[in-house]
Amino acid sequence: MINKTRPSPYLLLANISQLLTLHGENTPRRGRDLHEIGLIKDAAVLCGGGKILAAGSQRELLRDPWLRSNRRKVQEIDCEGNVVLPGLIDCHTHPVFAGPRLVDFEKRIGGADYEEIAAAGGGIRSSVAGVRGASRGELSKKVLAALNAMLEQGTSVVEAKSGYGLTLEDEIKSLEAIRDAARQWPGEVVPTLLAAHVVPQEYAGKADDYVKKVCDQMIPLVAKKKLAKYVDVFCDRGAFTQEQSEKVLAAARKHNLGTRAHVCQFTAAKLGPLLEHQPASFDHMDCVQPEDILLLARGETVAVLLPGANYFLGHKEFPDARRLIDAGAPVALATDYNPGTSPTPSMPFVLSLACTHMKMTPAEAIAATTINAACALQMQDRKGSLKTGKDADLAVFDVKDYREIAYWFAWDRCVEMVVAGRIVGLDT
Amino acid sequence: MINKTRPSPYLLLANISQLLTLHGENTPRRGRDLHEIGLIKDAAVLCGGGKILAAGSQRELLRDPWLRSNRRKVQEIDCEGNVVLPGLIDCHTHPVFAGPRLVDFEKRIGGADYEEIAAAGGGIRSSVAGVRGASRGELSKKVLAALNAMLEQGTSVVEAKSGYGLTLEDEIKSLEAIRDAARQWPGEVVPTLLAAHVVPQEYAGKADDYVKKVCDQMIPLVAKKKLAKYVDVFCDRGAFTQEQSEKVLAAARKHNLGTRAHVCQFTAAKLGPLLEHQPASFDHMDCVQPEDILLLARGETVAVLLPGANYFLGHKEFPDARRLIDAGAPVALATDYNPGTSPTPSMPFVLSLACTHMKMTPAEAIAATTINAACALQMQDRKGSLKTGKDADLAVFDVKDYREIAYWFAWDRCVEMVVAGRIVGLDT
């Protein structure tokens, strides 16, 4: 474990047993190609100015004339035969909450399901009470703690949603808490407004009025303050209808914000009309219809699968990744970090779930958490694969074979993180 | 994280939000009582000479006249409102192996099951080749790495089996590797001979001859060398028959070794005849018969459930803990750490599995990994609960409510370990 952040204009990661370059690509990997992760044995990576300068065979790289004559300027990390890959990208999280939902947890063990807990006043609404009662500083501290826990397990980019405020002030406060935390965190945070997470208690029976408020007040103000890159909506039974969801996404587009949507977690949505709003991703996708899978296969919208929620809710079934992959839909994976249905910051555990319970190969799961997750956040030009000129975000795992990252479970094997070309401390 | 082992004759853990004493008991908790974990709020623990001197309300403890006049002799740990409980006890592990089984892992993702992989020459037998080819020193290093990973997540006692050697020399080498590692590890290791893990290739079709060798050569020599406390046998389809298993356990008893058995993972065994050999535990128990549950409810043999294997094998079903608990059988939980079916060192993850997939409450799961796990290793007089005179093995988790230990998953919240009254380093 590295304890200090040491700045360095040039950094060489040497003695890498397996380097996963993801072929340096800028497009989502699909179908059979999802398995192609660009593995280079006995490799090295040279970083400079926060970017990848070269990534490939160590023997070739060490022959580079510039490197030979400038070796003293270059800080070196001996990777000791470990595996190096792009920093993992967690493209779906809800980190702005005040505390764990332990009562829900015990109720569920006693037999209540997600919707029964919500109906009993637990669920998302209890987190709403927590966020409304907390200060921006308190929330920011919790967000930063979560980001650091994610970093410790190999994650260098995190999408972070609001969604437990549900008033103009509390959604702004949540997004400001994300921004404050992001400023203190070495990785990159992509903020998303999820005011349309659930209809707040005070709008019970008046969902359309709340949607109007989201569209006419919240989205414009968030856009003006530049507090979010995306607007998300939870389109499902118990949350927002298809029609309401489309309104939210249309308002986002009107204000030049990107779009994404929670769909098909409990019931199937019609994805065609939602696709009109060019969402970067559709998330959950447990019960997506075959005809909608074909739509995804033809487009750029990424299916983000969130098996942590299935795990934590005690479900026997997981999202059907194979059906999506085999049809050619671009697939990503994320933690869904949140207090009600997926309290884990661990992308390696998501890799484990994808392999053991969704029958993705370790290579497919790694592509889904690097280049494809970058595509889900539309930052594939800078993130998610190793190519000269891309951001130098790298995770070093204490394993000799990349498959071990998904094989050992609930065992943090990430030993070093490089973010924007700098070594960052993991003991935070 | 504490980085140094500092000896101290007296140690005070102060400012504990919730202390779980397990009522200081020396018997397994059963049925409704499994949930009773002896929670004390605003507590402190005083340790001396490696033992618990007092555990209870901090206000009362700080009024103790001896403590008041000897405060300067006492090293203090400020637990900062965290939760403290007895060090977790992992009562079923197989840590002596040479490497991960990545080919099996990928084959299983492709659709092969445990028995198909074994039939194809993978499975246990591939680990046997690895152990036979490795030196005692190499194996010991791997065992120590596993023990340290366990310690980092709150475990202070580990049962460790041989079972990938399957020759006299290689089983002895495996048990010596366990002993060598245990000497370098601060916690306590309970060694078990599992020569009857599977019939080795060279005895194919001559299983009875192998059983004879186990009974007549291996068990006597291991007993003579004092290399194991227990003898274990894998009684199931593809391993050893009921009759063969009884022979192994009888031989163990003849040589004054304790007994335990892997049973009912794939097919139901008849537990009555095996109980004649007074096993400390029956492990796995996925398909135990109702009449055998009643036998356990009347006796002292602990049912050790191993949900990590179900998780890693991609099973939808988990051991039916509720049926065992409700019948009054003593239930414990363990990782089953091994390269083929459960590569995790994490007892907190086992708590998570128990709660989310076996519907045990967090309190029940904690009792199953402390006092009941101590009973499964017949060390309940010294371990598993907090009482004056018992060993001062304590885990500090960075949470405010004990339920969080099972709630957050794949997130190591253990921040400090005290073993035999001393702070031990977690950065090993």
Which tens digits make up the pLDDT trace of A221-233?
999 999 999 999 9
pLDDT in the model for residue A188: 98
Using only the alpha carbons of chain B, give its radius of gyration.
21
pLDDT in the model for residue A427: 58
Dihedral angle, C-alpha A27, A28, A34, A37, nearest 10 °: 50
Measured at the CA of A353, the angle between CA B340 and CA B322, to 5 degrees, comes to: 80
User: Is the CB of B4 inside 8 Å of chain A's CB atoms?
Assistant: no
- Tokens representing residue B90 in the block: 């992992």
pLDDT in the model for residue B427: 58
pLDDT tens per residue, range A345-385:
999 999 999 999 999 999 999 999 999 999 999 999 999 99
> Where on the phi/psi map is residue A382: left (φ > 0), alpha (ψ -120 to 50), or beta?
alpha
CA distance B360 to chain A (A): 7
Closest CA to B136 of B124, B148, B144: B144
What does the alpha-carbon distance between residue B38 and residue B54 come to, in Å, rounded to a whole number?
Answer: 14
Three-state SS for A396?
A: strand
pLDDT in the model for residue A352: 98
Question: Is A102's CB within 8 Å of B411's CB?
Answer: no
CA distance B337 to chain A (A): 10
Q: Which residue has the tokens 């980019």?
A: A157
User: Is the CB of A359 inside 8 Å of chain B's CB atoms?
Assistant: yes
User: Is the CB of A145 inside 8 Å of chain B's CB atoms?
Assistant: no
Q: For the beta carbon of residue A194, count every other beta carbon within 10 angstroms.
A: 28
What does the alpha-carbon distance between residue B245 and residue B219 come to, in Å, rounded to a whole number?
Answer: 13
Q: How many residues does chain A have?
A: 428
Beta bridge partners of B258: B230
What does the alpha-carbon distance between residue B371 and residue B351 come to, in Å, rounded to a whole number?
Answer: 14
Residues 6+ apart with CB under 8 A from A289: A268, A271
What does the alpha-carbon distance between residue B315 and residue B317 come to, in Å, rounded to a whole number?
Answer: 5
Q: What is the rounded average pLDDT of the residues A316-331?
A: 97
pLDDT in the model for residue A112: 86
User: Is the CB of A204 inside 8 Å of chain B's CB atoms?
Assistant: no
Phi, psi of B331 (to 5 degrees): -120, 135
Sheet strands (E) in B135-252: 155-161, 188-196, 230-235
pLDDT in the model for residue B2: 34
In what helix (H) or strand (E) does residue A230 lie, and over which residues does it extend?
Answer: strand A230-235
CA distance A114 to chain B (A): 13
Using a CB-CB cut-off of 8 Å, the residues of chain B touching A106 are 361-362, 403
How remote is the C-alpha of B206 from its chain's centroid? 32
What does the alpha-carbon distance between residue A159 and residue A361 come to, in Å, rounded to a whole number?
Answer: 24
- Tokens representing residue B324 in the block: 């065992």
Beta bridge partners of A371: none
Pairing of strands B83-86, B10-20: parallel
Q: Cβ distance B33 to B97 under 8 Å?
A: no
Provide the pLDDT confidence category of residue A23 given band limits of 50, 70 and 90.
very high
Provide the pLDDT confidence category of residue A9 given band limits of 50, 70 and 90.
confident
Q: For the beta carbon of residue A241, count every other beta carbon within 10 angstroms.
A: 15
Residues 362..381 of B with a Cβ closer than 8 Å to A: which?
Answer: 362
pLDDT in the model for residue B170: 98
Closest CA to B344 of A356, A408, A414: A408
Question: Is A346's CB within 8 Å of B403's CB?
Answer: no
- Tokens representing residue B222 in the block: 């291991």
pLDDT in the model for residue B425: 73
pLDDT in the model for residue A4: 37
What does the alpha-carbon distance between residue B216 and residue B315 come to, in Å, rounded to a whole number?
Answer: 38
What does the alpha-carbon distance between residue B279 and residue B282 come to, in Å, rounded to a whole number?
Answer: 7
CA distance B212 to chain A (A): 36
What does the alpha-carbon distance between residue B161 and residue B180 come to, in Å, rounded to a whole number?
Answer: 14
Whether the predicted pLDDT of B213 surpasses 80:
yes
Q: What is the rounded average pLDDT of the residues A156-185?
A: 98
pLDDT in the model for residue A124: 85
Nearest CA in chain A to B149: A411
Closest CA to B401 of B84, B114, B22: B84
Q: Cβ distance A374 to A332 under 8 Å?
A: no
The CATH homologous superfamily of the domain defined by A88-376? Metal-dependent hydrolases (3.20.20.140)
Using a CB-CB cut-off of 8 Å, the residues of chain A touching B109 are 355-356, 359-362
Pairing of strands B88-90, A51-57: unpaired
Cβ-Cβ pairs closer than 8 A, A with B, add up to 116
CA torsion sign for A60, A66, A72, A77 is: negative
Nearest CA in chain A to B310: A356
CA distance B169 to chain A (A): 29
> Where on the phi/psi map is residue B49: left (φ > 0), alpha (ψ -120 to 50), or beta?
left
Question: Is A311's CB within 8 Å of B356's CB?
Answer: yes
Q: Which residue has the tokens 């019948």?
A: B327
Whether the predicted pLDDT of B62 surpasses 70:
yes
Q: What is the rounded average pLDDT of the residues A160-169?
A: 98
Dihedral angle, C-alpha A413, A414, A415, A418, nearest 10 °: 170
What does the alpha-carbon distance between residue A145 and residue A140 come to, in Å, rounded to a whole number?
Answer: 9
Q: What is the rounded average pLDDT of the residues B302-331?
A: 97
Q: Cβ distance A222 to A175 under 8 Å?
A: yes
> Could you state, in order of their start, the residue ranges of all structural domains in chain A?
2-86+383-426, 88-376
What does the alpha-carbon distance between residue A400 and residue A54 come to, in Å, rounded to a whole number?
Answer: 22
Provide the pLDDT confidence category of residue A3 given band limits of 50, 70 and 90.
very low
Whether the predicted pLDDT of A1 surpasses 60:
no
Q: Which residue has the tokens 């008991």?
A: B25
Whether the predicted pLDDT of B236 surpasses 60:
yes
Whether the predicted pLDDT of A189 surpasses 50:
yes
User: Is the CB of B409 inside 8 Å of chain A's CB atoms?
Assistant: yes
Burial class (CB in 10 A: 0-12, 13-18, 19+), B219: buried
Whether the predicted pLDDT of B173 surpasses 90:
yes
Provide the pLDDT confidence category of residue B1 given band limits of 50, 70 and 90.
very low
Q: Cβ distance B243 to B211 under 8 Å?
A: no
Using a CB-CB cut-off of 8 Å, the residues of chain A touching B102 are 401, 403-404, 407
Provide the pLDDT confidence category of residue A31 given band limits of 50, 70 and 90.
very high
Provide the pLDDT confidence category of residue A8 given band limits of 50, 70 and 90.
low
Q: What is the rounded average pLDDT of the residues B229-248?
A: 97
Measured CA to CA in angstroms, residue B335 lies from B91, B228, B309 at distances of 8, 20, 8
Question: Is A357's CB within 8 Å of B314's CB?
Answer: yes
With both helix axes pointing from N to C terminus, report the angle between A347-358 and A362-369 in degrees, rounded to the nearest 10: 140
Q: Which amino acid appears at position B46 of this protein?
A: L
Nearest CA in chain B to A315: B357
Closest CA to B178 of B170, A64, A228: B170
Three-state SS for A112?
A: coil
pTM for this prediction: 0.96
Residues 177..196 of B with a Cβ closer than 8 Å to A: which?
Answer: none
User: Is the CB of B23 inside 8 Å of chain A's CB atoms?
Assistant: no
pLDDT in the model for residue B371: 98
Q: What is the rounded average pLDDT of the residues B312-322?
A: 96
In what helix (H) or strand (E) does residue A179 lie, and over which residues does it extend?
Answer: helix A168-183
What CATH class has A2-86+383-426?
Answer: mainly beta
pLDDT in the model for residue A2: 34
Closest CA to B260 of B91, B31, B27, B380: B91
pLDDT in the model for residue B8: 61
Using only the alpha carbons of chain A, give its radius of gyration.
21
Q: What is the rounded average pLDDT of the residues B25-50?
A: 95
Percent of chain B at pLDDT > 70 equals 98
> Where on the phi/psi map is residue A28: left (φ > 0), alpha (ψ -120 to 50), or beta?
beta
Sheet strands (E) in B71-111: 75-78, 83-86, 88-90
| ipTM associated with this complex | 0.95
Residues 6+ apart with CB under 8 A from A202: none
Measured at the CA of B386, the angle between CA B380 and CA B388, to 5 degrees, comes to: 95
The per-residue pLDDT of chain B, averaged, comes to 95
Percent of chain B at pLDDT > 90 equals 92
Task: Report the half-sphere exposure of B401 (CA within 13 A, side-chain side).
Answer: 13
Whether the predicted pLDDT of A80 surpasses 90:
yes
Whether the predicted pLDDT of B101 surpasses 60:
yes
pLDDT in the model for residue B125: 83
Question: What 8-state DSSP symbol labels residue A217?
Answer: I
Residues 6+ apart with CB under 8 A from A135: none
pLDDT tens per residue, range A390-407:
999 999 999 999 999 999
Whether the predicted pLDDT of B3 surpasses 70:
no
Q: Cβ distance B15 to B79 under 8 Å?
A: yes
pLDDT tens per residue, range A112-143:
887 788 777 788 889 999 999 999 999 999 99
Among the ranges given (A410-419, B37-46, B116-125, B348-357), the one the predictor scored with the smallest mean pLDDT: B116-125
Residues 6+ apart with CB under 8 A from A243: none
Q: For the beta carbon of residue A271, count every other beta carbon within 10 angstroms.
A: 25
